[in-house]
A and B are shown apart, each in its own frame.
Chain A
């Protein structure tokens, strides 16, 4: 079993989704607890990927493929985790999408992958998402955090527009907003009424972790 833990860790470090899936399947077949694989191999693996990224040794392709490997393993493990009642909690639901008019979703998808890899329940609404869809999804999923992304200077105004919709619908206080994307700056986000500004996928994970820690006590 120790060998499988090392393999799963390496799969995430190397961004090898196939190895991650095979290892997760072998782990379950050998009677291992899904939570043990997550806690002892996958999570340490993705944290190490994040550390190497922050140290400048890993670049976005390594970051993305590492998160994809973790996601692939999680897909294998999740049914078993649900059976043992250790599934993700609804209190950590995050909505994410690229704002209306913007079809570019590289950054958004990267953030979604990293959030999922770090155990958040992420509802990815995709690209070019109308404000009303965000609002509907907020009600449907009881999300506590909404992440918005814009790549184009001409579409970033969709961010304050979305916040205004939540204000006019009387639910602004029930949810926090995080924004990011190439043209978005901390100052602009603050002026637009956004609660958090994330300048990278790793930053987004840190912010979300802090947010839910504060919120859930």
Chain B
């Protein structure tokens, strides 16, 4: 029996309801700009008022019935369509952050543009790290036409990793291609609908706007039954009110409007209350993910999302540091722990440096350790009937020999977690004898060891089907030759 699942909540109930009330007030009076023509018309046809031009009002009394169909929990599936991961309640799952454009090679001290080969390495690495229950299309390959990068980067997680994947589109026409690719893995579009293998990120543009691309993505995903992760990203003081609560209110308004669009398109389709807000850095004009205020906004909006009955997501466990150093550990570790305490269902961010711009395989290893600590924390303390503690102490009070007691041997693995692989807990002499390794050195060694392990691949038949889909589209863009070469170079035989 657990004594308590530790939790953190930032807001009292009155504040939560007040945030929601103010968000609806904004939605009714100011409305949201809807760029995507079909979405705009669907909303208007559903009785929502057009305030002006493309700005649609979302009156609470008309919209809340649409939200009644939001599923509080759903399952993501691994590619065997049997292993399932619950998304909802207080379940916590970490995944390496999504869509970095830079890559920090192990041992390197500068970042470079990410490539398709890095997509492959990331998928293989995530496959081998059990603490990451979900993977992501973590980098944007620079060695391919921008318009094709979203489709190309999806093949790597599908081929090299069994876990469900967080991804998204860079252009409207990519959805059909990516849906076809996912359907190949599931076996059919119908099986994909009942066994979702991927989550698509859809980001409203702050303040209060769904762009042509993201409006289309919301509709497409809803209709196909592919879960959507709404990633509202207010920047406190820049694209949102400077007050933290003000940013949460804006986040709530943007997310409520997205959920209404989504549920009108397909009632009951799975949707996640996510985000990537930041406390705008007033000196550097950057979006610090490691700022405490950023994490406070994350915790607060996820609390609002839970109150409204949504599964939740956040970009946490990531850092603004440029190398996997003290700052990286500090920011990522705090983020990982807070996200777990808040019971955020999908936590994207491990591996990220440089805001959300750079992935580091060494940091993916280090953050895996941080996530393990966070998992341990929310596991909480277990009350054991055996051993009876007064009796144990009565028996061992004279010798103090707890180490050899059967109760220790029986329970130590459950009670005391071992050190992470990028954490050094040995003695000073051991540290000296091992060449004085820093955490980054340890992570580097883990990477080398993992590289020696085989990584299970998708079967040749489905791999070939994915390749054909990609090449067909590449042919339309007149880049088939380049894509063939990239696939060959990344161990996907054409």
Contacts and interface: CB of A to CB of B under 8 A. Distances in A.
B366 interface: no
B134 to A, nearest CB: 21
B416 interface: no
A182 B282 contact: no
A153 B285 contact: no
Contacts of B376: none
B238 interface: yes
Given A153-B140, A153-B357, A183 B101 contact: yes
B140 A154 contact: yes
A92 B383 CA distance: 75
Nearest to B209: A103
B285 A106 contact: yes
Nearest to B206: A104
Given A153-B140, A188-B113, A200-B285, 6 more contacts: A103-B205, A154-B170, A182-B286, A182-B355, A187-B110, A201-B285
A51 to B, nearest CB: 15
Interface stretch (A12-20, A34-42, A53-61, A117-125): A53-61
B84 to A, nearest CB: 31
Chain A to chain B: the 8 pairs with minimum beta-carbon distance, closest first: A59-B282, A153-B101, A157-B146, A60-B282, A106-B238, A183-B357, A103-B205, A154-B170
A60 B238 CA distance: 10
A39 B479 CA distance: 56
Contacts of A104: 205, 239
Contact of B211 (A103, A107, A154, A187): A103
A42 to B, nearest CB: 24
Chain A interface helix/strand/loop/mixed: loop
B99 interface: yes
21 contacts: A59-B283, A60-B285, A61-B282, A103-B211, A104-B239, A106-B235, A153-B99, A153-B356, A153-B357, A156-B101, A157-B142, A157-B146, A182-B285, A182-B286, A182-B355, A182-B357, A183-B101, A183-B357, A187-B110, A188-B113, A200-B285
B237 interface: yes
Given A154-B140, A188-B113, A60 B211 contact: no
Interface string A187-198: 110000000000
B374 interface: no
B328 to A, nearest CB: 18
A104 B239 CA distance: 9
A154 B99 contact: yes
Contacts of A59: 282-283
Interface in A84-132: 103-104, 106-107, 110
Contacts of B126: none
B470 interface: no
Interface string A29-70: 000000000000000000000000000100111000000000
B247 interface: no
Contacts of A182: 285-287, 355, 357
Nearest to A156: B101
Interface string B213-247: 00000000000000000000001011100000000
A42 B113 CA distance: 43
Contacts of A56: 283
Interface in A181-217: 182-183, 185, 187-188, 200-201
Contacts of A200: 284-285
B239 A106 contact: yes
A169 B113 CA distance: 28
A107 B205 CA distance: 15
Contacts of A201: 285
Contacts of B170: 154
A182 B285 CA distance: 8
A96 B287 CA distance: 22
A56 B356 CA distance: 25
Interface in B136-183: 140, 142, 146, 170
B100 interface: yes
Contacts of A60: 280, 282-283, 285
Contacts of B113: 188
Contacts of B356: 153
Interface in B307-366: 355-357
A182 B142 CA distance: 17
A106 to B, nearest CB: 5
B30 to A, nearest CB: 18
B237 A61 contact: yes
Nearest to A102: B205
A205 to B, nearest CB: 14
Nearest to A127: B205
A200 B235 CA distance: 18
B211 A153 contact: no
B204 to A, nearest CB: 11
Interface in B230-271: 235, 237-239
A152 to B, nearest CB: 9
A49 to B, nearest CB: 14
A110 B282 CA distance: 12
Interface string A148-170: 00000110110000000000000
A103 B235 CA distance: 14
Contacts of A188: 113
Contact of A107 (B142, B283, B285, B357): B285
Nearest to B286: A182
A107 B140 CA distance: 23
A83 B187 CA distance: 75
